[in-house]
Amino acid sequence: MPSEIDWIEKAASVRLPARHLVGGDWVDPLADDTFDVISPRDGALLKRVPHGDAHDVDRAVASARAAFNDRRWSGMRPAARGAVLRRWAELVQEHAEDLALTISLEMGKPVREAKNVELRAVANCLRWYGEIADKRPDESPAAGDDVLALITREPAGVVAAVVPWNFPLTMTAWKLGPSLVAGNSVVLKPAEQTPFSALKLAELGLEAGLPAGVLNVVPGRGDVVGQALGRHMDVDVVTFTGSPAVGRAFLRYSGESNGKRVWPELGGKSASVILPGADIEKAARASAAGSFYNQGQMCSASSRVVVHRDIADEVLHFARLQAREMAPADPLLHDAPSGALVSEQHLQRVLGYVRTAVEEGAELLEGSTGRHSVDGHPNGSYVAPTVLGGVKPGMTIEQEEVFGPVLSVITVDSEEEAIRVANGTQYGLAASVWTRDLSAATRVSRRMQAGIVWVNCFEEGDMTVPFGGVKGSGFGRDKSAHAIDKFTDLKTIWMEVEP
Ligand code: NAD
Q: Is the shortest distance between the CB of 472 and ligand 1 below 6 Å?
A: no
Look at strands 271-274 and 261-265 and give their pairing: unpaired
For residue range 273-307, list pLDDT tens digits in order: 999 999 999 999 999 999 999 999 999 999 999 99
Q: What is the pLDDT of residues 317-336, one digit of tens each?
A: 999 999 999 999 999 999 99
Q: How far is the CA of 165 from the centre of ligand 1 (A)?
A: 8
Q: Return the DSSP state at 302.
A: -
pLDDT at position 107 over 50: yes
Percent of the chain with pLDDT over 90: 97
Q: What is the pLDDT of residues 258-276, one digit of tens each?
A: 999 999 999 999 999 999 9
Rounded to two decimals, the pTM is 0.97
User: Is the beta carbon of 40 within 6 A of some atom in ligand 1?
Assistant: no
Contact 161, 132 (CB under 8 A): no
Catalytic residue among 113, 118, 265, 398: 265
Per-residue pLDDT, 33: 84
Cα–Cα dist 148/289, whole Å: 56
Q: Residue ranges per domain, the chain? A: 4-266, 271-468
Cβ 299 under 6 angstroms from ligand 1: yes
Q: Residue 267: CB within 6 Å of ligand 1? A: yes
Would you state the pLDDT for residue 32?
Answer: 84
Residue 18 has pLDDT above 60, yes or no: yes
66, 70, 76, 82: CA torsion to nearest 10: 0
Ligand 1 pocket member 268 (CB < 6 A): yes
**What is the pLDDT averaged over residues 470-493?**
97
Question: Does residue 292 have its Cβ closer than 6 Å to ligand 1?
Answer: no
Find out whether 384 and 372 touch, Cβ atoms under 8 Å: yes
**Stated length of the chain:** 499
For position 1, what pLDDT does the model report? Answer: 47
Q: What is the pLDDT of residues 130-183, one digit of tens each?
A: 999 999 999 999 999 999 999 999 999 999 999 999 999 999 999 999 999 999
Fold classified for 271-468 = Aldehyde Dehydrogenase; Chain A, domain 2 (3.40.309)
The closest residue, in CA terms, to atom 16 on ligand 1 is: 222
> Rounded to the nearest whole angstrom, what is the distance from the C-alpha of residue 227 to the centroid of ligand 1?
12
CATH fold, domain 4-266, is: Aldehyde Dehydrogenase; Chain A, domain 1 (3.40.605)
CA distance 418 to 346: 31
Average pLDDT score over residue span 223-234: 98
3-state SS, one letter per residue, for 172-235: HHHHHHHHHHCCCEEEEECCCCCHHHHHHHHHHHHHHCCCCCCEEECCCCHHHHHHHHHHCCCC
Hey, how many other C-beta atoms are within 10 angstroms of the C-beta on 221?
17
> Ligand 1: distance of its center to the CA of 164 in Å?
5
Active site residue 131: no
Do the strands 363-366 and 488-496 form a parallel or antiparallel pair, or are they unpaired? unpaired
Q: Which of 229, 240, 246 gets mutated to test ligand 1 (max ligand atoms within 8 A of its CB)?
A: 246
The CA 481 to ligand 1 mean position distance, Å, reads 24
CB of 164 closer than 6 angstroms to any ligand 1 atom: yes
Cα distances from 403 to residues 301, 341, 400, 407, in angstroms, run 8, 9, 9, 11
Between 56 and 32, residue with greater pLDDT: 56
State in Å: Cα 258 to ligand 1 middle: 22
- Could you tell me the pLDDT band of residue 229, with boundaries at 50, 70 and 90? very high
pLDDT of residue 3 exceeding 80:
no
pLDDT at 2: 53
In the annotation, is 265 catalytic?
Answer: yes
> Whose Cα sits closest to atom 43 in ligand 1?
299
Instruction: Please give the mean pLDDT across all residues of the chain.
Output: 97
Distance CA 283, CA 281 (A): 6
Pairing of strands 25-27, 20-22: antiparallel
For the stretch 345-377, pLDDT in tens is: 999 999 999 999 999 999 999 999 999 999 999
Report which DSSP code applies to 134. Answer: T
- Residue 205, pLDDT above cutoff 70: yes
